[in-house]
Amino acid sequence: MPDGDTAAPPTVSGTTVTRAVLGAAADNAARYGDRRALADPEREIGYARFAASVPAAACGLRRHGVRPGDVGAVHVTGVCDLALAVHAVTAAGAVPAPLRAGAPVAELAAMMNECGARFLLVGAEGAPPAMAAAERSYVRQVFAFGDVPGATAFGRLMDGGSGEPFPVPPPDPLRDPALRLWGPSEEMSHADRLADLDRLAGVAGVGDGDVLAVCGRDVPMPTWIGLADLCLTQGALLVGVPGGGARALLDAILRHRATAAVVTPADLRAIAFDHDAVPVPGVRLLVTGAASAEAVRGCRDRHGWTVSPLR
C-alpha cells in the first residue's frame, strides 16, 4: 500500500452499495481527478469519469422506461463495462442480473426468463448470442457498449446530461435485491453486497495506490464485482486480465506494475516455478483455493512474493 493505510469500507446504513461506491469514487475523483480506476486491455476508466457516468446513465435508463424493481440482464466481459452496467442499473432503481459468460443462446435465454429481465446491457464481444437470446425472452430494450445493431448505445444514455437521477424509492438494505445471481444463492441484498465488500477489504488488503490484477473467470461473479467496488472505494486500480492463465497474469503484473493479484492454485504453482526473472518486488498473491506449501515457498524464495487466501 504505497500511499498509506487501507480506508474503512462503506457500512450498511440504509443505503445502496452503488451510493456508497459512487460517494467514495467521487471523493477519489476530487483527490486524484481522472486517475485510472478500472482497466481492460482495450479500455480504461478513471474515477472522475466513473463518478459522472453512472448517475448520467441511470437518468438515461429512466428516460428509456426503466423503473424501480425492473431486472436488467448484464452480458459483458470487461471490468469497465461490468462496473458501469451494474451500478447504472442499480442507480436507476433496477436490479442487475449478470449472465454467465460463454453460455449458449438457449441457456442465456433461460437465464433472462428465469430472472424476469426486461432489458439487457451487452458488450460488443459476445453480443450475437445475447441478442439472439433476447429474442426468446421478455427483454424489450437492449443497451450496448460498442456498436451492436438493434441496440441503443450506452453512450447515448448520457446525452441528457449528468443531473440528478429520477427519484428512486429508498431501498430496504436487508430485503431489496442488489444483485440477481445463478446457483444456490439466487440474490444478494444491498446489505449482503456491503458486507461482502467489507470482507474483501479485510482479506485483500488493497489500499490507496495499489494495483490489483484479476481474471474475472477465476472468481465468482459477486467477488469479481466486489473487487472492482473495492478498488473504486479505496483509491486503487483494478486491472482485468483476459483469457486467464499464469502467463497472462504475469504479463499484466509486469505491464501495470501490480502490487497484488488474484490467482488460482494451479496458476500459483506455475508462477512459483516460473524460471523467468520477474522484476516486480513485493507482489501479494491472493489465492482462490487451497495453496500447496511448496508453491507458497516457491513464490517467496524465487520472487519475494507473499501468498494469502482470498476467502
What are 201-211's pLDDT values in tens digits? 999 999 999 99
pLDDT of residue 163: 52
Please, which pLDDT band fits residue 6 given cuts at 50, 70 and 90? low
Domain final position from 163, 188, 213: 188
Query: Is residue 136 domain-shared with residue 44, that is, in the same domain?
Result: yes
Query: Is residue 209 domain-shared with residue 85, that is, in the same domain?
Result: no
**pLDDT at 123 > cutoff 90:** yes
Query: Is residue 117 domain-shared with residue 135, that is, in the same domain?
Result: yes
11: in domain: no
Domain count, the chain: 2
Query: Is residue 162 domain-shared with residue 24, that is, in the same domain?
Result: yes
Domain that includes residue 239, residue range? 195-309
pLDDT tens figures, 248-297: 999 999 999 999 999 999 999 999 987 676 678 899 999 999 999 999 99
Do residues 217 and 206 lie in contact, with contact meaning Cβ atoms separated by under 8 Å?
A: no
62: in domain: yes
Query: Is residue 170 domain-shared with residue 286, that is, in the same domain?
Result: no
Q: What is the pTM of this model?
A: 0.91
Domain final position from 188, 203, 233: 188
Query: Is residue 135 domain-shared with residue 220, that is, in the same domain?
Result: no
* DSSP-assigned beta bridge partners for residue 123: 145
Domain final position from 168, 188, 208: 188
Q: Which three cell numbers stand for residue 54?
A: 453512472
pLDDT tens figures, 143-189: 999 999 999 999 999 886 555 556 666 677 777 899 998 765 589 99
pLDDT of residue 174: 75
